[in-house]
Structure 1
Amino acid sequence: MVYLKRKADDFLTAWKADPDRKPLIVKGPRQVGKTETIRRFAAGAYANVVEINFVEEPKYRAITTDGYGADAIIRNISLLDPSKRFIPGETLLFFDEIQSHPDIATALKFLRIDGRFDVICSGSMLGISYREIESNSVGYKTDYEMYSMDFEEFLWAKGYGEDVADGMLEHLTQARPFSQVEMDVYSSAFLDYCVLGGMPAVVTPYIESGTFSGTLQTQRQLVADYQEDIRKYATGLDQARILNVFRHIPVQLARENKKFQISKVASGARFKDYRGCVEWLETSGMANVCRCLTYPELPLRGNYDENKFKIYFGDTGLFVAMLDDEASDDLRANRNLGVYKGAMYESIVAEALRKAGYELYYYKKEDSTLEQDFFVRTREWLVPIEVKARKGTAKSMRTLIASDSYPEIRFGIKLSAGNIGSSEHVFSAPYFTTFLMRRLLRAYDEGDAPLLDNPER
Structure 2
Amino acid sequence: MSYLKRKIDGYLLAWKADPFRLPLIVKGPRQVGKTESIRRFAHGAYESVIEINFVEEPKYRAILADGYSTDDIVRNVTLIDPSKRFLPQKTLVFFDEIQEFPDIATSLKFFKTDERFDVICSGSMLGIAYKNIEHNSVGYKTDYEMRSMDYEEFLWAKGYGSGIIEEMNAHLIEARPFSDLEMEVYSSLFMDYCILGGMPAVISKYIARGSFEGTLSAQRQLIADYQEDIRKYADGMDQTRILNVFKHVPVQLAKENKKFQITKVARGARFKDYRGCIEWLEQAGVVSVCRCLLYPELPLRGNYDENKYKLYMSDTGLLVSQLDDEASDDLRANRNLGVYKGALYENFAAEAFVKSGMDLYYFKKEDSTLEQDFFARTKTRLVPIEVKAKNGTAKSMRTLIASDAYPDIEYGIKLCAGNVGNENAIRTFPYFCSFMVKRYLSEQE
Shift of residue 174, structure 1, vs aligned partner: 0.4
The answer to whether structure 1 residue 171 and structure 2 residue 171 are counterparts is yes
Q: C-alpha distance in 1, partners of 2:139/2:441?
A: 32
**In structure 1, what is the equivalent of residue 301 of structure 2?**
301
1:235 offset after TM fit, Å? 2.6
The code of the aligned residue for 1:191 comes to: M
Within 5 Å, give how 1:89-108 maps onto structure 2: 89-108=89-108
**Residues 30-45 of structure 1 aligned to structure 2 (within 5 Å):** 30-45=30-45
For the 8 Å contact 1:27–1:127, the answer to whether it is kept is no
1:453 matched residue in structure 2: none
1:348 counterpart residue number: 348
Give 3-state SS (helix, strand or coil) of 2:113's partner: helix
Partner of 1:369: 369
**Pair 1:283 & 2:283 matched:** yes
- Give distance in 2, aligned partners of 1:417 and 1:134: 43
Task: Report deviation, 1:344.
Answer: 0.2
Residue identity matched to 1:329: D
Task: In structure 1, give the amino acid aligned to 2:214.
Answer: G
Gaps of 5+ in 2: none
Offset of residue 353 of structure 1: 0.2
Q: CA deviation at 1:125?
A: 2.0
Are 2:327 and 1:313 aligned? no
AA of the residue aligned to 2:308: K
1:212 alignment partner in structure 2: 212
Equivalent pairs counted in the alignment come to: 445
CA contact (8 A) 1:383 1:413 kept: yes
Aligned counterparts of 1:376 and 1:98: Cα–Cα separation in 2: 34
Q: Which residue of 2 aligns with 1:187?
A: 187
Over 3 Å counting, the alpha-carbon distance change for 1:297 and 1:195 in structure 2 is same
1:23 match: 23
1:248 counterpart residue number:
248
Which deviations, in whole Å up to 9, do the C-alpha atoms of 1:202-246 show, x marking residues without a partner? 000101111000000000000000011111111365110000000
- Identity rate, percent: 72
Distance across 2 between alignment mates of 1:434 and 1:334: 23
Cα distance in 1 for residues equivalent to 2:73 and 2:237: 33
For residues 116-265 of structure 1, the aligned pairs below 5 Å read 116-125=116-125, 128-235=128-235, 238-265=238-265
Q: 1-side partners of 2:412 and 2:444: how far apart? A: 13
**Contact 1:197/1:317 (8 A) holds in 2:** yes
Provide the rounded CA distance (Å) in 1 between the counterparts of 2:99 and 2:128.
Answer: 8
1: CA distance, partners of 2:302 / 2:128: 22
Q: Which residue of 2 aligns with 1:71?
A: 71
Aligned with 1:134: secondary structure? helix
- Give the equivalent residue in structure 2 for 1:433: 433
- Matching residue of 1:407: 407
Q: How does 1:322-361 map to 2 (within 5 A)?
A: 322-361=322-361
Match of residue 452 from structure 1: none
In the aligned structure 2, how far is the partner of 1:87 from the partner of 1:260? 53
- The answer (yes or no) to whether the contact 1:127–1:285 under 8 Å persists in 2 is no
Distance 1:351 1:20, change over 3 A: same
Instruction: Tell me the CA shift for residue 127 of structure 1.
Output: 7.3
Secondary structure at the counterpart of residue 116 of structure 1: coil
Q: Is residue 198–residue 315 contact of structure 2 (8 Å, CA) maintained in 1? A: yes
User: Under a length normalisation based on structure 2, what TM-score does the superposition of the two structures give?
Assistant: 0.99
Whether 1:419 aligns to 2:419 is: yes
Q: Give the gaps of 5 or more residues in structure 1.
A: 446-457
Q: Is the 8 A contact 1:127 1:283 kept in 2?
A: no
Q: Provide, for residues 434-456 of structure 1, a one-character-per-residue CA deviation record: whole Å limited to 9, x for no partner.
A: 111111011100xxxxxxxxxxx
* C-alpha distance after superposition, 1:145-184 (max 9, x if no partner): 1110000000000000011111100000000000111100
Q: TM-score, normalised by structure 1?
A: 0.96
- Give, as a single letter, the amino acid of the residue that structure 2 aligns with 1:62: A
4+ long deviations beyond 4 Å: none
Distance 2:128 2:23 in 1: 20
Q: Does structure 2 conserve the Cα–Cα contact (< 8 Å) formed by 1:128 and 1:280?
A: no
Q: What's the offset of the Cα at 1:2? A: 1.1
Deviations 1:393-442 (A, max 9, x none): 00000010011111111100000011000111100000111111111011
Deviation string for 1:303-343 (max 9, x for gaps)? 10011000011111110111110000000000011111000
Question: How many Å apart are 1:126 and its aligned residue?
Answer: 6.5
For 1:232 and 1:126, locate their aligned partners in 2 and report how far apart those are by CA, in whole Å.
Answer: 9
Which amino acid in the other structure matches residue 86 of structure 2?
Answer: F
What one-letter code is carried by the residue in structure 2 that aligns with 1:147? Answer: R
Displacement after TM superposition at 1:128 (Å): 4.0
After TM superposition, the structure 1 stretch with the greater mean CA deviation from structure 2, 227-236 or 208-217, is: 227-236
